[in-house]
Amino acid sequence: MIKQYNGFKAERRQTREQLPPGGYVIKILATEIEHYRSGGKLALSFDIAEGDFKDFYRKDYAANQNEDKKWRGKYSVWIPKDDGSQNDEWSKRAFNDMTAVFEDSDPGFHWDWDETKLKGRIVGGLFREEEWSWENKSGWATRCFTLITPAEVRDGNFKMPERKPLKTSAAAAPAAFSDTNADDGDLPF
C-alpha cells in the first residue's frame, strides 16, 4: 500500500490556454533593459488591452502554480550598438520601426530615449506561432512577432506572418523568453 503524503489532494493539472495567432491591442506594463554579452535588449512586458482575450497574460500568470512562473507577455528588441556591423544595421531598422509604432499610435508621443515613458502606452501586437524545444520537449507557442498600431489591429489591416518552425540544424538552440486598470501588485515587475 502507498503511504499518503502531506498535501495530497486529488486534482487535475490545468492545461495552459494558448493565445490564438492574430493581431491584438496591447498595453505596456513594464520596461526593462536586459544585458547580454552580445549587447542589450529593450524588453517590454505587456497584456492584451481589448477584446475577448483582454488580460490574457494576467490571468495566465495568476493561474500558473509553478514556483518559477514567468510573465509570458513579452516583446523585446535589440538596442543598436552603433558599430557599423550588418547585425547593427538590422537592429537599427527594428528599433526605428518599434519607436515609429509608438509615435504613430499616440501622435502626442515623441521618443526621447527614456524607455520608462513607454509604460502605460497602447500599441498593437502581431502574434504568430513559433516552435520551441527545451530539455527533450517541444511544441508550439504564440508569441508577439512585431508591433503595429492599434488602428491596424482594430481595422484588421495587417498580414499574418507564417508559423516559425525551429531550424533543423544541430546548432539551433531554443530562445529564452522569456482590466487594464487592475491592481498590478501581484505582477512580477
Tens digits of residue pLDDT in 120-178: 999 999 999 999 898 888 889 999 999 999 999 999 999 998 999 988 744 444 444 44
Answer whether 126's CB lies under 8 Å from 159's CB. Answer: no
- The candidate with the shortest Cα–Cα distance to 148, out of 97, 96, 76, is 97
DSSP three-state, residue 161: coil
Q: What is the pLDDT of residue 184?
A: 65
64: Cα separation from own chain's centroid: 17
What is the model's pTM? 0.79
pLDDT in tens, 99-136: 999 999 998 999 999 999 999 999 999 999 999 898 88
User: Given pLDDT bands bounded at 50, 70 and 90, which one contains residue 183?
Assistant: low
Tell me which of 21 and 136 has the higher pLDDT.
21
The dihedral region occupied by 113, where left means phi > 0, alpha psi between -120 and 50, and beta the remainder, is left
